[in-house]
Structure 1
Amino acid sequence: MLQWVRSILYIVQATVMMPVVGLLYAPWAMFSLNGAYAACKAYSRWCIWTARWLIGLRCEVHGTVPQGEVLVAAKHQSFLDIMMIFNALPRAKFIMKKEILYTPIIGQYAKRMNMVAVDRGKRGKAITKMLEDVKSGRIEAGQLVIYSQGTRVAPGVSAPYKAGTAALYEQMAQPCVPVATNAGYFWPRRGLYRRPGLAVVEFLEPIRTGLTKEAFMAELETKVESASDTLLRDAGWTPVDATPR
């Protein structure tokens, strides 16, 4: 019962802090891309820090965090893994649903940071434009983050890896850094309860360029799923925990 109370208090304060941080940084963010990134990193760090002392959830990033221009293909289980990845990368650019642009605060900052908002079925066109803008210098390069399964997937639930990641890998001709996580065990897709423990985002060894689409997708899925399952088992997850909340 106490953990339920702590979980609800955590969610309330995190929700309140989002517009507070957004408004405090707004003057800087309007005139500087650095300001927009600083605002979102400040909010992410606040949520990560308060999770430690309020709900007993520690967050760690393992592996080598990429610094240059690269494709990052991540496992997506929770809003927590978004914040951890964003906070870890110097200049993360997420591929996201277009609908997110219309959400308060998050949408405005996503636009300011040139996140790649796509309509379902038109992702290739949006990514092509983004790459052209980077090459021309119209927008700043960074680490392009894609969730290969296209949505949040709870621990223990199977979902196919989308072919769009392979198309992007081929188009960018850059190494791809896979990312595993166990965040969904502690911070589920649905529900208010937050488990105490250690949430991890792990940057794995890059997948080299030049692979066929089939070979790339096979290696990506094997690496991400295997590492994520290991992190989940280390956290104490069992298949019975996979029941949606």
Structure 2
Amino acid sequence: MMAWVRTAIFSLLFWAISIPLVLLAPVAALFGPSVLRRYVLRWIALHRGLARTVLGIRLRLEGEIPDGPVIFAAKHESLYEAIELTGMLDSPATVMKRELASIPLWGWTARRYGVIVVDREANAAALRRMMKDARAALDGGRSVLIFPEGTRVAPGEAPPLRAGMAGLYRMLNLPVVPVAVRAGHVWPKRGAKRPGEITFRFGAPLPPGLPRAEIEARVHAGINMLHPPVVHETPEKR
């Protein structure tokens, strides 16, 4: 019961403050990307403070965050890491689906912030736009953040990586840093959030130029290292 009370208080406070801030984000965007990014970092600080004080969620960091532009490939189990990694990695260019970037006004604000838009059709024009977005981020000294499994998953689930990560890796010729996340046990997709510790583990950078099968296998292993895989038992044959 207490977990539900904490969750309700957190949701009430967070969304009551966040909705006006999000609605005002296009105004901040008019003053330029750097102003918008500082605006977003303040919103992230609000989220972190409420998660700590209301929900009792602590953050544990393992490994080292490298300097210089790299591709961060992270596990995605909750909203928590999608928000916190943006602040922790100093406003990286996050890879975003075209459908989200097409939302009126909000999509313009996201592009102003400097996201990288990916298109599932992956035609030549879409790849050129994605490369343009990525190059703009690198020219500004920013890293790239991608959730290579493509969606939020439950703890222990390890779906194959989407093709977008390998494409960015090949085109940008940057090291990849796998980021394992253990968050879903206290911040489930549905249900009450519980007090506890969320862990981010930054792996060693993987060098550019590896074959696609190798880089995908090593990233997949790196982002899933905090959870044993879910094993679905099958009935024994009689």
Question: What range describes the TM-score normalised by the shorter chain of this pair?
Answer: 0.7 to 0.9
Q: State how 1:103-182 maps to structure 2 within 5 Å.
A: 107-122=107-122, 125-132=125-132, 135=135, 140-182=140-182
Superimposed CA distance per residue, residues 1-38 of structure 1 (whole angstroms, 9 cap, x where no aligned partner): 12211111101211122123335665443112121111
Structure 1 partner of 2:235: none
Whole-angstrom CA distance in 2 between matches of 1:53 and 1:92: 26
Whole-angstrom CA distance in 1 between matches of 2:143 and 2:222: 19
Q: After TM superposition, where is structure 1 displaced by more than 6 Å over at least 4 residues in a row?
A: 136-139
Whole-angstrom CA distance in 1 between matches of 2:46 and 2:136: 35
- Report how many aligned residue pairs link the two structures: 231
Superimposed CA distance per residue, residues 44-94 of structure 1 (whole angstroms, 9 cap, x where no aligned partner): 111111111111111233322234221111111111111111011123111
Superimposed CA distance per residue, residues 149-202 of structure 1 (whole angstroms, 9 cap, x where no aligned partner): 11111102231112331222111111111111012221112x241111111222
Whole-angstrom CA distance in 2 between matches of 1:59 and 1:137: 27
CA contact (8 A) 1:8 1:192 kept: no
Whole-angstrom CA distance in 2 between matches of 1:154 and 1:95: 21
Distance apart, 1:134 and its partner CA = 5.8
Q: State how 1:212-227 maps to structure 2 within 5 Å.
A: 212-226=211-225
Structure 1 partner of 2:30: 30
Higher Rg: 2
CA contact (8 A) 2:158 2:224 kept: no
Structure 2 partner of 1:183: 183
Relative to the length of structure 1, the TM-score reads 0.82
Structure 1 unaligned blocks of 5 or more: 233-237, 240-245
Whole-angstrom CA distance in 2 between matches of 1:150 and 1:172: 19
More helix by proportion, 1 or 2?
1
Whole-angstrom CA distance in 1 between matches of 2:104 and 2:59: 26
Structure 2 partner of 1:235: none
Structure 2 unaligned blocks of 5 or more: 232-238
What's the Cα RMSD here?
2.8
Whole-angstrom CA distance in 2 between matches of 1:28 and 1:120: 30
